[in-house]
């Protein structure tokens, strides 16, 4: 975007400075939000791993439908519980992947590309004001 007739006025310079400060503020907030999202997705990943480990150990403890000890301990109910836990874990993993894709990737786009384009445009418009 090139402007052919721009007047160098104090008001114009002030507006440019305000826009640059707004872009930098947005970049800093986006970086903080990105870090928070990364921690959240890592936590969801660890929770998923923990859930799957617990479900696997519960299934190994069970021994199957033909084990009379397992049936006496409430085996059929435990099987339903393990199925429910696996489904919950699947949704945690789905949430993690969606947050990673929809938020993390887009925040990186904003921080690394879009805001840098604003800064580059500023210096194209006014190269001597660095």
Distance linking the first and last C-alpha atoms of the chain = 19
81 within some domain: yes
List strand residue ranges (DSSP E) for the chain, in order.
Answer: none
Our count of domains for the chain comes to 1
- The 3-state DSSP class for residue 96 equals helix
Q: Which pTM does this prediction carry?
A: 0.69
Domain residue limits at 70:
10-125
pLDDT per position in the chain (130 positions), as tens?
555 666 778 888 888 888 888 888 888 898 898 899 899 999 999 999 999 999 999 888 876 667 777 777 777 888 888 999 999 999 999 999 999 888 878 888 888 888 877 777 766 666 655 4
Residues in the chain: 130
Residue 100 in domain: yes
* Backbone phi, psi, residue 50, to 5°: -65, -40
Residues in Cβ contact with 102 at an 8 Å cutoff, skipping those fewer than 6 apart:
none
Query: Tens digit of pLDDT for each residue in 50-59?
Result: 999 999 998 8
**DSSP 8-state secondary structure symbol assigned to residue 111:** I
| Residue 1 resides in a domain | no
The answer to the question of residue 4 being in a domain is no
Distance CA 6, CA 95 (A): 48
């Amino acid at each position: 975007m090139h402007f052919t007739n721009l007047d160098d006025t104090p008001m114009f310079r002030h507006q440019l400075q305000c826009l640059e400060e707004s872009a930098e503020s947005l970049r800093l907030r986006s970086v903080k939000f990105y870090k928070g999202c990364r921690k959240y997705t890592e936590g969801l990943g660890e929770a998923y791993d923990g859930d799957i480990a617990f479900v696997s150990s519960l299934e190994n403890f069970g021994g199957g439908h033909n084990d009379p000890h397992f049936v006496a301990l409430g085996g059929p109910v435990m099987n339903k519980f393990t199925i429910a836990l696996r489904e919950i874990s699947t949704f945690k993993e789905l949430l993690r992947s969606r947050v990673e894709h929809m938020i993390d990737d887009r925040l990186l786009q904003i921080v690394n590309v879009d805001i840098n384009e604003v800064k580059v445009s500023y210096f194209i418009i006014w190269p001597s004001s660095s």
